[in-house]
Amino acid sequence: MTEPNQEATHHHHHHHLPKRIILVRHGESQGNLDTAAYTTTPDNKIQLTPSGLAQARQAGNHLYNIISNDENKNWRVYFYVSPYDRTRSTLREIGRSFKKERIIGVREECRVREQDFGNFQVKERMKVIKESRERFGRFFYRFPEGESAADVFDRVSGFLESLWRDIDMKRFHRDPSHDLNLIIVSHGLTCRVFLMKWFKWTVQQFEHLNNPGNCEFRIMQLGPGGEYSLAIHHTDEEMLEWGLSPEMIDDQKWRMRANKGDWNEKCPWYLDEFFDHVADSDRESGDKENGSSGMCE
């Protein structure tokens, strides 16, 4: 008999969690069209192209349709935006689809800015640098005078701490009847790093991820147990295209139903990747000590 009651308290426990956390990459920029733009313009001042502005308006429309389609018509949005011109312009265009009463607020957040590639970027030099990044590994390679993806991971981790604190203190959520949607307008690599940090993906898994396209988004949606999953909104095909492995997709599907704090026993990169050579039980290791070989054949 206690089940519905448990369900109620369970639901009560995470009613102040955002229903969705949506990562959006900025629209097409001058730098996406021609990397020569970076030789004369600071990265943070690179503008959207007319096509980028149109993409952002379309993304706003698409996001509005997804969010307003819910049973709960009492939804709200809160935006975080990288301080770069191209992300701010993307947000302005996305914002056209939402009425003011629906928007709780906007915060410019430096920690979700683009990876720093090191001041003005000389085209020929950047070509050589990017070739050596391929040899070194994309995650750990640090651009001269700039950052590595690992550096971005550290500041995104700091941002996530603040985000959880804001959620815990119900800073966004004045009214529990509202469904809250957090939208983070950022950059391709930053979005990938955010997901890596959130879902505890390994460096090796990160290396296989593809950049989202301009104004593409990734929707992390809250499951009934209080875990976020990409699989609630996105298809297997989409996630494969993004570079998630079948195991990573299985984990996303597990999260759709998981209770907060549960541990996915079937998640190979947490344990088996390191301890595939370790005996399963005490009894097994006793057999090995008594003469049978303990090495992987």
Q: How far is CA 170 from CA 89, 226, 237, 293, in A?
A: 28, 16, 35, 56
Task: Check 93, 109, 114, 147 and give the catalytic one.
Answer: 114
Whether 277 is a known active-site residue: answer: no
- d(Cα 250, Cα 254) in Å, to the nearest integer? 6
- Check 26, 178, 187, 234 and give the catalytic one: 26
Q: SS3 sequence, 154-196? A: HHHHHHHHHHHHHHHCCCCCCCCCCEEEEEEEECHHHHHHHHH
Find out whether 184 and 24 touch, Cβ atoms under 8 Å.
Answer: yes
Residue 188 assigned to a binding site: no
> 39, 65 in Cβ contact below 8 A?
no
30 is in an annotated binding site: yes
Q: How many Å is the Cα radius of gyration of the chain?
A: 22
27 is in an annotated binding site: yes
Asked if residue 111 belongs to a known ligand binding site, the reply is: no
Strands 20-25 and 217-222: antiparallel
Contacts 24+ apart (CB under 8 A), 95-102: 95/60, 96/57, 96/60, 97/57, 97/60, 97/61, 97/63, 97/64, 98/60, 98/64, 102/75, 102/76, 102/77
User: Is 26 annotated as catalytic?
Assistant: yes
31 labelled ligand-binding: yes
- Contact between 149 and 138 (Cβ < 8 Å): yes
Residue 25 assigned ligand-binding role: yes
Distance CA 102, CA 54 (A): 22
Residue 28 assigned as binding residue: yes
Does 255 carry a binding-site annotation? no
Residues forming the annotated binding site for substrate? 25-32, 86
Residues forming the annotated binding site? 25-32, 86
Active site members: 26, 114
